[in-house]
Every structure is written in C-alpha cells, then in structure tokens.
Amino acid sequence: MVGLKSIKDSNVHVGNTVEEFLGSSKIKKGNLAASMVVSRNTFTQLLQKEEWPDESIMRLIDSVNELTPNGDLLNSLKLFPLAIPAFLEVGKGVVNGLVGRTIKVGLKDIFTEVIEKHEFKENLVVDGSLGQGNAARSVWLGIRDNRISKNGFSEGVYVVLLFDSKGEYAYLSIAYAVSDKEEDKLEAMAKVPAAKIMEVIEGDSRYQGIQPGAIDLGDTVGTTAEKYEKSVIVSKKYSIKEIDEAVIKEDLSLLLELFYDFVFEDYFEVLDQVLLEGEEREEKSPNTKPNKKGKTKSTIDPELHRKLLAAKAEHNNRVGKAAEEFVYNREIEKLKQAGYEQYVDLVKHVSKEKDGLGYDIQSIEVDSLGTYKEIYLEVKGSSMGGNNEFTFYLSERELTVAKELKDKYCLVFVEYVGYEKERIFDEIIPFANEEEKRIEMKPIMYKCNFKK
C-alpha cells in the first residue's frame, strides 16, 4: 500500500521514529512543537503514540523541512518512513521540501563529493527524481556517465540509489535504464551480468552485502518503479534510518569501480555496436526517420564513440599495469620460496622503463640442478574474469617477438584484477605446437602504404 496508510501497514511507531530523529538532529523539541503550532505538552504526548493523525504527520514533515539546515539533511533520512509515504500520497506540496532537499541536496552533495575524486569525474553526472505522479511512485538519486547514458537516465546503465515506497529501505545499485529496454526482458537481461559480477566479488570483504537481481520497492504495480525493480543487476540494501555518510561514500566509490569494470569489459561490446550501427527501435521517434520496415535507427555520434574508446583504453591500461605488477611480484616470490633469493635482481619489470619490447617482464626459470634460463612474460589482465575464455590483443611487435623467442616467451593471463581473488588464469607458450591451436587470431587492422 502506498501513502500514509502504509505507515500503519509497516508497523512504524511514529512517536519513536520522531524521537530517534530528534536525537540525531540539531532541532530542539520546543522549536519543532512551536513550528507545528502545538504546545510542548501536546507534542510530548504525541511522541508517546504509535499512530498519529495524518494531518499531524504532514505538519511534522513540513516543520522539519523549515527548521533543518542543508548541512543536517542526512539526519532527515530517519524520518523517511514517514516522509516518503506522505510525499507519494500527496505527490507535491508540503512534504516535497523535506524529501526533495534530502535527496537532491543532502545526498547529492555526498554523491558529488565522491565523483570529484574519480578519474572520470568530468563525465559523471549526479541527478535524481522524486517520482511525482501515479505513473512513477519512485524516489531515486543516480550517477551516470554522459558517454554511456548521453541523454540522461533514460538510456544505458548507471549507478543509482533507489528508495522503496514505504521509506524503509534503500538499494545502492548498478542498474539498466528502463525507457530504452523491453520490460518483459529486463530481469532476464540483468541475470547474466549479475552472475558474472558476483563471481568477481566473491569472498571480497569490501563488497560484503552486495546481492544479485531484482529488488523490492514496495507497492509498485503498474508504475515505473515496477520496472526499476527488475532492472537492477546488483545492489546493496540499507535500512534508511541507519544510513551512514561514511559507509555510503565508501560503498559508492567501490560500486563505481565495479560499474566501470562491468561497462568496459562486459557491456562495452553491446554499447559499441549500438554506437556504430545505430539501434533499431519499434516505436517511432520525432527525431528519427523511419526505414522501409517502419522501424527507426538512433543517430550515430562519432565524437561520443571516440571518447568511449579513449576511456576504455584508459581502463585497459590501468588494469594491464596492475596485472603486470601482480605477475612481477609473483615471480619474485616464486624465487624466494624456492630458495633462490640471489636471483631476485634478474626479474625486471621492463615495460615500466621502456615500451615496445614485445613483453612486460623479464624473469628466469631455474631447473632442478640450479641452472636458470631467461624467460619473457607478456601479461594480459581482466577485472571481470576469464570464464574459460579470454579475449586479448597482440601487437605486431608482440607477435614477432613471441615467434622469435619460442619457448622462452610466455603469455600470462590474470583475472579479477583489483579484487581480493586476483589470480593467474592461465599461462601458455603461444606458438608451441601444442598451444597454438588454443589461440584463435583475427586481424583487426592493416598497415597500408600509398604510392603516388
């Protein structure tokens, strides 16, 4: 049930909720009573009651809004079990202020502070919705990348904090936009990446509490919020009254990292195809021209595509460097554990000093007699995991060096880069007879000379 009646339905003790709020707020009881135009004695009696008249709840929310400074808005979340049901019943007016300010000022400030420290901060946009109207019935605040969701939160995928209709819980999520996707396919669509992401963060204490799949936003039947429930890929659930600023900041930072690993290593192929070929839509749009079959194609944006490719290159470079560091440290540790600490200086992370050698790490292998030979390691890394298949790229130089060095050259694949379960996925000598058939190579670029 949505609205003030859901407060009773949720077994919310109104008086205790207000007492808890006052305990964390800078608002004094006497000032709140005066703003509500009731005596202190009457207000004290109200605080002892589980149920309040609807009119008293509305006046309470309006008064709190008037008395709460912007810097104290986060404490207003403790009133959300009263404020959100009241707001959703009215849709606007007296309760709009408290809900709106808390979401679009208090929490927005926290979200903005987090993205200011992110490498892609120039492309990140924070915005939310109060879900006015019977078709919405949802309150949320999100972060989108304007290269991925160019036209707002109506397309692509993003990070979003979704509030349920009773004001009891909030879900910090990675979710698909619902406007550009078919509703009956949303939940199934989210299951595949959810399973992959959960595999990546399995056992990682930083991501404790993250769950896959659809969420429960309360009474959502026939509203946009019903679609939001199904669009969630992974999420962390919070009791709204217990939301802590430090925890939200930390979780939001972690979820953004997970979001970009997903986007650039799993979702990017879909995104890339849409940008290059245009996306066919069943419904007509005033901005697009129908084709012969009555369908339309979205406009291709070459500049946006260029920016996304550059961002993916940045991501790949960061993941690659981290994977190299992991392998370099592993090579040193292997020698120490085998009792060959005197050879540690022979392990060199050469790509740090010079690029274009065709390998990243120069190391050694020691046989049972203590004789060593030099080996050359080219490292390929992925944050999202190999899953028995690993797509990677070889430069012409790397290919040439691999063929020249033969069994001294090794490709080392690292998965779950940046997560607690980071590990070597596989190691192969790429052009030895028994290994060559495991690699399927496809040329994707040609060097051309033009002669006049």
Whether 137 and 165 have beta carbons less than 8 Å apart is answered as yes
Listed as own residue / partner, the contacts of 131-136 with beta carbons closer than 8 Å and 24 or more positions apart are 131/88, 131/224, 131/225, 132/91, 132/92, 133/91, 134/91, 134/223, 135/223, 135/224, 136/223, 136/224, 136/225
The architecture of the domain spanning 320-436 is 3-Layer(aba) Sandwich (3.40)
pLDDT at position 437: 63
The whole-model pTM stands at: 0.86
Mean pLDDT of 136-164: 90
238 CB neighbour count, 10 Å cutoff: 21
Tell me: pLDDT of 293 over 70: no
Tell me: pLDDT of 328 over 90: yes
pLDDT at position 95: 62
Residue owning tokens 């996306």? 279
Chain region(s) in the chain for CATH 3.40.1350: 320-436
Residue 423 forms beta bridges with which residues? 415
Q: Which residues contact 14 (CB under 8 A, 6 or more apart)?
A: 7, 49, 50, 51, 52, 57, 82
**Least confident stretch, 29-43, 279-293, 371-385, 435-449:** 279-293
Whether 347 and 360 have beta carbons less than 8 Å apart is answered as no
C-alpha 29/C-alpha 63 separation (Å) is 11
pLDDT at position 275: 57
pLDDT at position 25: 92
Q: Is the dihedral of CA 71, 74, 78, 83 positive or negative?
A: positive
172 CB neighbour count, 10 Å cutoff: 23
Strands (E), 114-156: 124-129, 139-145
* DSSP secondary structure, 392-444, as one string: ----HHHHHHHHHHGGGEEEEEEESTTSTT-EEEEEE-TTSHHHHTT------
Tell me: pLDDT of 353 over 80: yes
